Amino acid sequence: MKEGLIGPFRQLLPLADLPLNGPIRDDELDILSEAGMWIQDGHIKKIGVFDRMRTQLPEDKILLLEEDYVGVPGLVDAHTHICYAGSRAKDYAMRVGGKTYLEIAREGGGIWSSVQQTRAASLEALKVGIGGRLHRHASEGVTTCEIKSGYGLTVASELNMLRAIQQVDAEQPIDVISTCLAAHIPPKDFDGDGGAYLDHLLAELLPVIQQEQLSRRIDIFIEEGAFNEEESSSYLLAAKQMGFSLTVHADQFHPGGSEVAVKVGAVSADHLEAVEEEEIKLLSRHPIVSVALPGASLGLGEPYAPVRRLLDAGACVAIASDWNPGSAPMGDLLLQAAVLGAAEHLSLAETFAAITYRAAAALELQDRGQLKEGMLADLLAFPCSDYRDIFYYQGKLKPAKVWKKGVLVS
């Protein structure tokens, strides 16, 4: 809607004026009763008592909610790989049969399997896949979604992925933030080592990305079988010099990546399942978002990132789905946040923050994740009267209505 009032919500959680870093208690939440949201041109004009505000608008500008709903900001998924083709069900069967992620990769599975399937897909086929996944994400409350490339690993294939992501962004309502992850793993068919491949990306791929404005973000996977700390640092610093923002796949199986992320000034360090005490202290002392990916832990049978320790140390912690065809095929952000919150003893306030405004910070977005004047009118209505039900049902309670920039999209 161009302008209108939505309400009354039995409860409305603005999540406004909460801290970006460290713990949050539930009693810090501002819970508005019988509230309404006045929307104008895709943004929030005012939040307040519904019955008072409705007198200021004609009836045809009022969307009356006749059932009980709890309103919360639209969810932000700050880390996904939903531009891909094919399946990795074979990998899953091998993994639950006892083989490790790295063993499967050495046997021809893993990321390389997705690379071969994605390279064979047309741009249109990739768009169809992305569009379907975004449609499901929207129905589950995600109104902003980051999407990475990284299953191409040639200049032509990576550009094909990034163009598909860009075109889908323009064709559907959910905001898409693209990230170039051409430095996912060294491609098996590249004539040279990992360092030479990264130099190739800097010379041949990143200038085209800038020219076509396909992405403003660069990512790299720092891990055994991917890229080491030294070559990753050089690549990231060169990309930063070109004007890109940085994020890092860090400390998934071994520590080391988060230290690189901090040193190069990355916006976020993502994964962190293997983060150790020194890295936790480092992350808490710097303006960097620690992004936990519980979907990967569930898919791989690995420990969760120690988000309780990160929060208590003063870090900014977000939660993202890591939706991908290999380690995290579920892609249900709300469910994963509920499961991680229970496992790591997060307050409900901390869990809400991790999938809204703190996740937005991982994407350098200051205009969403909270419900307050001037912010984007990204809003969810859950069919309940108590905000605690949202995580109490462990992700099975989904939003009944989803607004993106004030427009009902699901």
**Helices 229-241 and 257-264, interaxial angle, to 10°?**
20
Cα–Cα dist 68/179, whole Å: 38
Cα–Cα dist 371/226, whole Å: 40
CA distances from 147 to 50, 104, 278, 321, 377 (A): 37, 24, 30, 11, 22
The pair phi, psi for residue 2, each rounded to 5°, is -70, -40
The pair phi, psi for residue 206, each rounded to 5°, is -60, -35
**Helices 257-264 and 277-284, interaxial angle, to 10°?**
20
For the chain, percent helix, then strand, then coil, each to nearest 5?
40, 20, 40
The tens place of each residue's pLDDT in the chain, 410 residues long, gives 789 999 999 999 999 999 999 999 999 999 999 999 999 999 999 999 999 999 999 999 999 999 999 999 999 999 999 999 999 999 999 999 999 878 888 888 899 999 999 999 999 999 999 999 999 999 999 999 999 999 999 999 999 999 999 999 999 999 999 999 999 999 999 999 999 999 999 999 999 999 999 999 999 999 998 999 999 999 999 999 999 999 999 999 999 999 999 999 999 999 999 999 999 999 999 999 999 999 999 999 999 999 999 999 999 999 999 999 999 999 999 999 999 999 999 999 999 999 999 999 999 999 999 999 999 999 999 999 999 999 999 999 999 999 999 999 99
CA distances from 182 to 112, 198, 209 (A): 12, 9, 11
CA–centroid distance for 167 within its chain: 19
Cα–Cα dist 302/298, whole Å: 7
Q: Would the pTM count as exceeding 0.95?
A: yes
Residue written as tokens 């901390």?
350
Cα–Cα dist 17/35, whole Å: 18
Q: How many CB atoms lie within 10 A of CB 22?
A: 15
Cα–Cα dist 146/225, whole Å: 24
Cα–Cα dist 159/69, whole Å: 43
323, two tokens: 């939706």
Torsion of CA 167, 160, 92, 302, to 10 degrees: -80
| DSSP secondary structure letter of residue 221 | B
Beta strands in 93-189 (DSSP E): 142-148, 175-183
By three-state DSSP, how is residue 4 classified? strand
CA distances from 237 to 35, 179, 230, 232, 386 (A): 47, 16, 11, 8, 47
DSSP alpha helix (H) spans, 47-122: 50-53, 89-96, 101-106, 111-119
Q: What is the DSSP string of 33-53?
A: EEEEEEEETTEEEEEEEHHHH
Q: Give bridge partners of residue 6 from the DSSP assignment.
A: 37, 63
Cα–Cα dist 404/385, whole Å: 22
CA–centroid distance for 349 within its chain: 18
